[in-house]
Amino acid sequence: MATISSAGVGSGINVESLVSSLMSVEKQPLTKLQAQQTSYQSKISALGTLKSGLSALQTAAKALTPATGSTATASFSAYKASLADSTIATATTTNAAVAGSYSLEVTALATSQRLALGKTYAPGAAVLDFGSDSTRTLTITKGSTATNITLDTSQNSLAGVRDAINKAEAGVSASIVTDTSGKQNLLLTATTGGTANAVSISGTAEFIDPAASGSPIAAASAFTQTQAATDAAVKIQGVSIATSGNTISNAIDGITLELAKTGTTTLTVARDNTDLKSKLDSFVSAYNSLNTSIKSLGAYNAATKTGAVLNGDSTLRSIQSQLRSALTSVPGSLSGASYKVLSDIGIAFQSDGSLKIDSTKFDKAASTNFSATAAAIGAYGSALKTTTTNLLASNGVIASRTDGLNSSIKSIGNQIDAFETRLTAVEKTYRAKFTALDTTMTSMSTTSSYLSQQLTLLSNMTSNA
């Protein structure tokens, strides 16, 4: 009897086709589970997009929230200072400045103190007398601050002392000058002009006297002052100002002047809303970007009758509603304010739900009543910061929704694993049954063939008899 090597070959039954067809029906519930799992994963990805947009908006809202313990006016006030002749001085401001115009007259600049060693030395020659000590100390005192510089025998040259002084950053810079005879001297210059920055020299260091090597000179008397420190002479609005060097930081509230040369000019201080406007632009941009994402993720295409990944999702609707409420509900702190709603300061919703700044209206509101403008910005910035912080919290709607979806994905994953195990068993059963049927039908076909041959042979034998 011939051996059948493939199911269905002997009987004519297409076992593989039958099993495949039956299994595609059996797999339909699995396909639905996998599609549902993919849908949940897409929702998690969409929630991640929302979370990113909310984080950007939260950052922008924080920039519009007054600093703790500070008023909105103080937090958002900024000024710029300019001088008619910018070569005379430069000016920097803080939010403590006050708008106004001031005359500035500089009749003298501060000078820096200069000191020189009283003795000169050949290049590389020893300059310190260490006696029996391995180290000596050079002390430089500026005001009430003393800096001790430790010198050892490896630094026993003008270059070594110079480098040690400069490394210490004690308020002076040291340099070496060489005269026409080739001898060198050490010069010290106060790093900042003014009497408050003058220095004195002391310490245990002793300098060698080339003319009397056995009579070293103490550090306190080794240097000679070649230029005294002086303060600048300045008048503001005709009033003489006490100065400390060429920096004036306490004459005009919130203004620091750095004097550059003598002369007369005018200092103008004006409010500068550039930084605040930039923060508002960033806020509007962040909100509009998030608004675009919300619309896209919740969209519905009527033509194809298909919805976006979060179409109809309650979390999306909740986020949209809370954000809108934060920007349209008047904060309690503005109940009696001149400007109560964002449109009062030039920020308004458009027909597509986005925000837009009317720069002309904002500038007018700020110039008319800056305190009211700042208060409105601070109140709505604070409200939106609170809203976004709550939405992004570990127990907020996004985290809760994401946790729920992850839980569902895990549950579906378990169902898929169990179903795939069942499908493997079902396919094995189908294949075993159809293989058995194929074997039986093949055997019956062979028997039928044999009987037919025998009957034909018997019939022939009968006919021949």
Instruction: Please give the average per-residue pLDDT across 284-302, as a whole number.
Output: 94
- What would the DSSP string read from start to end of 53-121? HHHHHHHHHHHTSPPTT--HHHHH--EEEEESSTTTEEEEE-TT---EEEEEEEEE--B--EEEESS-B
**Domain membership flag for residue 407:** no
Domain hosting 204: range is 114-227
**Claim to verify: residue 243 and residue 98 sit in the same structural domain:** yes
**Claim to verify: residue 252 and residue 366 sit in the same structural domain:** no
Position 7 pLDDT exceeds 70: no
Instruction: Please give the average per-residue pLDDT across 133-138, as a whole number.
Output: 96
**Claim to verify: residue 193 and residue 342 sit in the same structural domain:** no
**Domain membership flag for residue 134:** yes
**Domain membership flag for residue 364:** yes
Question: For residue 427, what pLDDT is reported?
Answer: 77
Are the C-beta atoms of residues 82 and 271 closer than 8 Å to each other? Answer: no
**Claim to verify: residue 258 and residue 309 sit in the same structural domain:** no
Q: Which of 271, 298, 331 is the last residue before a domain boundary?
A: 271
Query: Is pTM beyond 0.75 here?
Result: no
In angstroms, rounded to a whole number, what is the distance separating the alpha carbons of residues 20 and 40? 29
Question: For residue 1, what pLDDT is reported?
Answer: 36
* Tokens (6 digits) for 207: 């300098």
**Claim to verify: residue 182 and residue 158 sit in the same structural domain:** yes
**Domain membership flag for residue 453:** no
Higher pLDDT, 444 or 126: 126
Question: For residue 363, what pLDDT is reported?
Answer: 95
What is the arrangement of strands in the sheet containing 199-203, beginning at the earlier edge strand?
145-152, 135-142, 199-203
**Domain membership flag for residue 450:** no
**Domain membership flag for residue 25:** no
**Claim to verify: residue 221 and residue 305 sit in the same structural domain:** no
**Claim to verify: residue 218 and residue 241 sit in the same structural domain:** no
Mean pLDDT over all residues of the chain? 89
Tens digit of each residue's pLDDT (9 = 90 or more) over 343-384: 999 999 999 999 999 999 999 999 999 999 999 999 999 999
Any idea what the CATH number is for the domain that residue 137 is in? Answer: 2.60.40
In angstroms, rounded to a whole number, what is the distance separating the alpha carbons of residues 295 and 317? 10
**Claim to verify: residue 137 and residue 185 sit in the same structural domain:** yes
In angstroms, rounded to a whole number, what is the distance separating the alpha carbons of residues 373 and 24? 67
- What would the DSSP string read from start to end of 168-213? HT-SEEEEEEE-TTS-EEEEEEESS-SGGG-EEEEES-EE--TT-T
What is the C-alpha end-to-end distance of the chain, expressed in Å? 31
CB atoms within 10 A of CB 70: 12
Tens digit of each residue's pLDDT (9 = 90 or more) over 24-83: 777 788 778 777 888 889 899 999 999 999 999 999 999 999 988 899 999 999 999 999
Q: Which of 271, 296, 324 is the last residue before a domain boundary?
A: 271
**Claim to verify: residue 189 and residue 287 sit in the same structural domain:** no
What is the band of 271 on the pLDDT scale with cuts at 50, 70, 90?
Answer: very high
Position 9 pLDDT exceeds 50: no
Residue among 151, 248, 165 nearest 207 (CA)? 151
Tens digit of each residue's pLDDT (9 = 90 or more) over 205-254: 999 999 998 899 999 999 999 999 999 999 999 999 988 789 998 899 99
CB atoms within 10 A of CB 203: 19
**Claim to verify: residue 101 and residue 240 sit in the same structural domain:** yes
Backbone phi and psi for residue 173, each to the nearest 5 degrees, phi listed first: -115, 140
**Claim to verify: residue 103 and residue 246 sit in the same structural domain:** yes
**Domain membership flag for residue 106:** yes
**Claim to verify: residue 282 and residue 386 sit in the same structural domain:** yes
The total domain count for the chain is 3
**Domain membership flag for residue 442:** no
Q: Which of 206, 241, 271 is the last residue before a domain boundary?
A: 271
